[in-house]
Structure 1
Amino acid sequence: MALRACGFIVFRRLVQPTPPPDDIEFLLLQTSYGQHHWTPPKGHVDPGEDDLTTALRETQEEAGLGAEHLQVLEGFLQELRYEVRGRPKVVLYWLAELRDPGMAVTLSAEHQDQRWAKLEEACSLAQYKDLQDTLRAAQQHIDTVQGKH
């Protein structure tokens, strides 16, 4: 059976008098274990827990951002499939905007650093093509919702 994890692609809009076209930044967390890779907040589903509840719980635990801090965007859900140590893994990502762009992120012991990054820097940090594709899809969804086709 595949490992299952859920999380959020969290983004914020830079607050400026006239926001530039690239006013979106994505939150990435650097793990404090293994290869110290960068990833959005996510974690494994607990027994009896539904996927969205897992995503909310893990984002609260790993970044200190609870449901009250996030606005979940409708119509975005990405599923990534890959292997970890020879076992299949499925990760589901929803997309959520941080309600207060100035809110501080509080890291858990699982992570050693955090960064808000515009799309290209976020993709560079992400390293894995499927996560890069997910970040690009998130940016495209945000642009579409804002009417910027």
Structure 2
Amino acid sequence: MAELRAAGLIIFRRMAAEIEYLLMQTSYGIHHWTPPKGHVDPGESDRETALRETHEEAGLGTEHFKVIEDFKHELRYSVNGKPKTVIYWMAELLEPKTPITMSNEHQDYKWLPLSEACELVGYPDLIKALKECDKYLKQQEQ
């Protein structure tokens, strides 16, 4: 059975003393909220997918953010009985007021502090990923 594979970026910005995370609401299915991500195309690396999907879904190119090279989080779960792996890197938006340009795959987006972001996503594995990002960022500040 072929494994489903996706990759994306957990994008954050610093607003005053607060860190906010970008979440996008899908325009399909149950309209769940996630960071920008998508399926890995044949011949594409996970990293290439994460960058491409972020550009396609949020209008953010590599000139808009800095990828945190030493942070990578892997989620594994099942979708319709098939195993799926999602790889997330973390990236900081360089200019906090950079506009988001949504694709037709999404109907809304929000910048939220950790607690509100965790409440909105609802999925325990994604909540864990967001909390690990936040923990990493707080450790870097010490």
Q: Which TM-score band applies after superposition, normalised by the shorter structure?
A: over 0.9
Q: Which residue of 2 aligns with 1:4?
A: 5
Q: Which residue of 1 aligns with 2:21?
A: 26
What TM-score, normalized by structure 2, do the two folds share? 0.97
The answer on 1:127 being equivalent to 2:113 is: no
Matches within 5 A, 1:98-113: 98-113=93-108
Gaps of 5+ in 1: none
Match of 1:71 among 60, 66, 70: 66
**Residue identity matched to 2:71:** F
**Residue identity matched to 2:4:** L
CA change 1:145–1:74 in 2 (3 A) is: farther
Runs of 4 or more, structure 1, over 6 Å off, are none
Q: CA offset at residue 117 of structure 1? A: 0.3
Identity of aligned residues (%): 57
Determine the C-alpha separation between the residues in 2 that align with 1:56 and 1:144.
25
- Residues 7-53 of structure 1, C-alpha deviations (whole Å, 9 max, x = no match): 00000000x4xx3xxx1000000000000000000001111111111
Matches within 5 A, 1:26-65: 26-65=21-60
Q: Which residue of 1 aligns with 2:91?
A: 96
**Residue identity matched to 2:25:** Q
Q: Secondary structure at the match of 2:63?
A: helix
Determine the C-alpha separation between the residues in 2 that align with 1:121 and 1:108.
23
Determine the C-alpha separation between the residues in 2 that align with 1:44 and 1:72.
19
**Residue identity matched to 1:98:** L
What TM-score, normalized by structure 1, do the two folds share? 0.93
Instruction: Tell me how large the CA RMSD over aligned residues is.
Output: 0.7
Number of aligned residue pairs: 141
- Residues 93-118 of structure 1, C-alpha deviations (whole Å, 9 max, x = no match): 00000001000100000000000000
For structure 1, which segment, 24-33 or 67-76, has the greater mean C-alpha deviation from structure 2 after superposition?
67-76
Q: Which residue of 2 aligns with 1:114?
A: 109
Q: Secondary structure at the match of 1:68?
A: coil
- Residues 65-93 of structure 1, C-alpha deviations (whole Å, 9 max, x = no match): 01111101131110000111111110000
Match of 1:80 among 70, 75, 84: 75
